[in-house]
Structure 1
């Protein structure tokens, strides 16, 4: 895989297990993702819901036929900014054994190009406060810290 080309494409249902394996390998996020077969139906339901959402897309980064990264985008239009539409990028993850090879930069570059193509106002994302390496990565790509995020957990 060293030096192999990365392809970014919309995820397909057969990619779900590989995407979940990447998400489950995240030891910082604390989302409780698991490769346990008992959770498969939950992930398939979520994938099918995303697949039907016209403004949400789950993507994968593929190298030599293997899924090596994933991210999700959401287009949101607000009245602020004179009704501008922005792209929100979520769940950016690279397979642990493939980190440091530029895959994350290619995934974010894909998002930026897609946002430009669509004439969007901005691309925004949030990152867990504990992910200091990710913060440096996003700043290196030109993102600026601009807001504080808050969450209210219901489950």
Structure 2
């Protein structure tokens, strides 16, 4: 998807693919999320793990990592993945993952702009659907996604391997 300049509450917000130089800000967004439970950290010893993952995402034709930038600061991030399956007559879908908005800027329309960016991109590529998962404890996020038109439809399961 192409970068897009958006007006959010009268301010300019740029949504673009992430660059390697954005990694410290993106990592800080994840590390500040106590509820996520992913073990993210700004400890410099972990940087190589993030860099390796970033390069994997960047080299994939079916994945992309984005940032929302406001006044030259990274204030949000999300990742998209495209999957094609035999169900739905061989259609493709977009999965949105790792949606984060800087905590002091929540409620300003940044999250909605990021999700609407994804929806517009999926529509322009003829995707069958856009889907995402959200931690069961994130009740505010669930209301947010429902306001944007998402419907709860499936029950997810995970198995931790590490």
* Same fold, TM-score > 0.5, yes or no: yes
- Provide the residue aligned with 1:102 in structure 2: 109
The count of corresponding residues between Structure 1 and Structure 2 is 155
Q: Which runs of 4+ in 1 moved over 2 A?
A: 1-4
TM-score by length of 2: 0.94
- 1:42-76 C-alpha deviation (Å, 9 max, x unpaired): 11111011110110000000001000000000000
- Partner SS for 2:135: coil
Partners of 1:47 and 1:4 in 2: CA distance: 29
- Provide the residue aligned with 1:30 in structure 2: 37
- Provide the residue aligned with 1:91 in structure 2: 98
- Provide the residue aligned with 1:117 in structure 2: 124
Q: Shift of residue 33 of structure 1? A: 0.3
> Structure 1: which 5+ residue stretches go unaligned?
none
Q: Quote the RMSD (CA, aligned, Å).
A: 1.1
2:57 pairs with 1:50: yes
Query: Among residues 149, 157, 160, which one is paired with 1:153 in the alignment?
Result: 160
Q: Shift of residue 98 of structure 1? A: 1.0
- Partner SS for 2:16: strand
Query: Among residues 5, 18, 22, which one is paired with 2:12 in the alignment?
Result: 5
- 1:103-155 C-alpha deviation (Å, 9 max, x unpaired): 00000000000000000000000000000000000000000000000001100
- Partner SS for 2:50: helix
> Structure 2: which 5+ residue stretches go unaligned?
1-7
- Provide the residue aligned with 1:78 in structure 2: 85
Q: Would the aligned equivalents of 1:88 and 1:125 in 2 still touch at CA under 8 Å?
A: yes
- Partner SS for 2:78: strand
- Partner SS for 1:57: strand
TM-score by length of 1: 0.98
